[in-house]
Amino acid sequence: MKLSSKAVSVCIIVSLLVFSTVADAKPIYSPIETPDHPALQIMKWVDKESPIQTGENVTVYVNITNFGKSPAYNITINEPFFSDFSVDLVTGFEPAKWVVIGTNASISYSYSFTFEKPGNYLIEATTAFYTDSDQNSYKARSGIIDLEVIKGAPPISLEDEWRQIFLMLGSILALPIVWLLLKKFVIE
């Protein structure tokens, strides 16, 4: 069975679209195939590898690049936030609306959080809604991130942290005194 060049092209485009949903995917548009409209691609990744310990700080990075031949306008980001998660301290992301992302330009942001309970978690896709100069609407999505969280050491309270610092300082300051006493009474 011989495939036509059109069928091969469709297969290539479909496979590129499928692979572009993976969190660490390569751009779905090459310089040869760059569309005339804006074409955003969202890359999303975390700074840790699974498994992650409970209480450990995790940072999610998001980069949005316009591979199209025209600017993207009125970009609205939909970042799903952990409704089913047991997380603490989500910091760093303010829902935003960008006015424009030019051709071959990017925007980036990040946010951090900690997991309170062990388990398997999915960080759902980030979605960007945008328009072209004629107000035609488009949508782009990132990949999904799958994380395994295991029970980690409990977080140290500030009071315990200071107690450990004073114990270390006390030990360091006590060493010369112990040395002088040993030298005076035991070594001589």
65, 108, 113, 131, 134 from 138: Cα distances, Å: 14, 19, 30, 6, 12
Summary mean pLDDT of the chain? 76
pLDDT tens track for 23-65: 344 444 445 577 889 999 999 999 988 888 888 888 889 999 9
Find all residues with CB under 8 Å of 142, minimum gap 6, and list them. 21, 23, 42, 43, 44, 62, 125, 126, 127
pLDDT tens track for 121-135: 888 899 999 999 999
Which of 20-24, 58-62, 173-177, 182-186 is most confident? 58-62
Please report the pLDDT score of residue 155 as a whole number. Answer: 60
Residue 158 has pLDDT above 80, yes or no: no
Number of other CB atoms surrounding residue 184 within 10 Å:
9
> Is residue 113 within 8 Å of 56, Cβ to Cβ?
no
Residue ranges of the domains in the chain? 5-154, 156-188
pLDDT tens track for 12-26: 333 333 333 333 444
The CATH code belonging to domain 5-154 is 2.60.40.10
Helix/strand/coil for 184:
helix
pTM of the model: 0.62
